[in-house]
Amino acid sequence: MSKEHEENIKKEFEAAEGIQDTEAVQEKVTDLGKVDTSRQTNTTSPDDPEIKRINEMVGYTKLNLADFPSKGKFYRDDFEIHIRAAKVAEVRAFSTVDENNLQEVDEGLNNMVVSCCKVMYGNQRGSYKDVLEEDRIYLILSIRELTFKTGEQTLMMPIGKKGCKTPSCKVQESMELRTSNLQFNTVAESIEKYYDPVDKCYSVQTKNYGVIQMAPPTIGVMRAVTEYVRGREEKGQSWDKSTLAILPYLQREWRGWNEKDIFSTITSFQGWDATKYTIIYRLAEDMKVGVKPELGFPCKSCGEEVTVPLTFPGGIKALFVIPDISAELL
């Protein structure tokens, strides 16, 4: 057998077995192309902002701002609120609140919000102080409902004679206090028409005082005002209640807003005439968007809407501390 014939048989055998001549392959593959170093093979880097956000939100539930008393109208477009259930340590801390001390109650509610709430602006963290003061009670009740989501601690408000007035209807003794039963204040159309979707506030046009921008205050603004009042009282100094009633509605940013700034602003109010003060006072009164001091629910017998005063059976502590443990005992 000639050498040439042997080579042909070898090639046929290798072709049948899928074996390629190494030298031939090397001759064919002359350019492997360029490696794109800009492409990252690790798409789940822990430093990636979106991955960080996802990890931070584990165990948290995002709330729908449209369900809040404010309808979310006064927050930035990328504003989000996420909550989790309260932990035992947080409930224990809340149980020590002195209900006769309004300042301590306020701090206790804020501490619960701080612990169980995360405010986000896209991938950046915000502060609980960015939440509107008038949205706070809805936020607290939402945390409560997530903490006791199996219904092991319901807050039942007594109704009795305050219920449906239809004589034929069966008396309903109580109703559960839940976010779904809350009623919200609504802003009159005469004010609502001035809502500015860009600046997220009311830009009210006046005849003699130009455009006045106002909005419901944040927790941060209200805390700054509270600290100002506390400081004045500790020094034995007086403070103007009428001025502080409208000041929070004129201040949007709480960051860097201190006692000196508040005093300066209050001083500038002294140059107002009575008409300007009255206009701003009325505007502030008319743009309250918080929870009404009453609950609404349909009568179980006739379906008519019934309203009863909003109270906290067992006190404010009952929001997170079981007022009656008898149901848990054998």
Q: Would you place residue 127 in the very low, low, confident or very high pLDDT band (cuts 50, 70, 90)?
A: very high
Mean pLDDT of all residues in 160-178: 79
Judge whether residue 259 has pLDDT over 70: yes
pTM: 0.78
Q: Of 32-36, 169-173, 197-201, 314-318, where does the model show the most confidence?
A: 197-201
Q: What is the pLDDT at residue 154?
A: 81
Mean pLDDT of all residues in 61-85: 97
Kindly report, residue by residue over 203-247, the tens digit of the pLDDT: 999 999 999 999 999 999 999 999 999 999 999 998 888 999 999
User: Residue length, the chain?
Assistant: 330
Kindly report, residue by residue over 6-37, the tens digit of the pLDDT: 555 455 545 444 444 444 444 444 454 555 55
The full set of domain ranges for the chain reads 54-155+313-330, 189-286
Q: What is the pLDDT at residue 147?
A: 93
Q: What is the pLDDT at residue 306?
A: 81
Kindly report, residue by residue over 279-323, the tens digit of the pLDDT: 999 999 999 999 998 888 888 888 888 888 888 877 888 888 876
Q: What is the pLDDT at residue 27?
A: 43
Kindly report, residue by residue over 80-124, the tens digit of the pLDDT: 999 999 999 999 999 999 999 988 999 999 999 999 999 999 989
Name which of 42-51, 63-72, 316-325 the model is least confident about: 42-51
Tokens standing for 216? Answer: 């419901």
Tokens standing for 27? Answer: 């001759």
Q: What is the pLDDT at residue 43?
A: 54
| Cα angle: 92, vertex 140, 217; to 5 degrees | 125
Name the residue with higher pLDDT: 326 or 228.
228
Name the residue with higher pLDDT: 58 or 288.
288
Q: Which CB contacts under 8 angstroms, 24+ apart, belong to 254-259?
A: 254/129, 254/218, 254/220, 254/221, 254/223, 254/224, 255/220, 257/221, 257/224, 258/224, 259/227, 259/228, 259/231
Q: What is the pLDDT at residue 298?
A: 82
Q: What is the pLDDT at residue 160?
A: 66
Mean pLDDT of all residues in 128-155: 90
| Tokens 């909003």 belong to residue | 310
Widest distance between CA atoms in the chain: 121
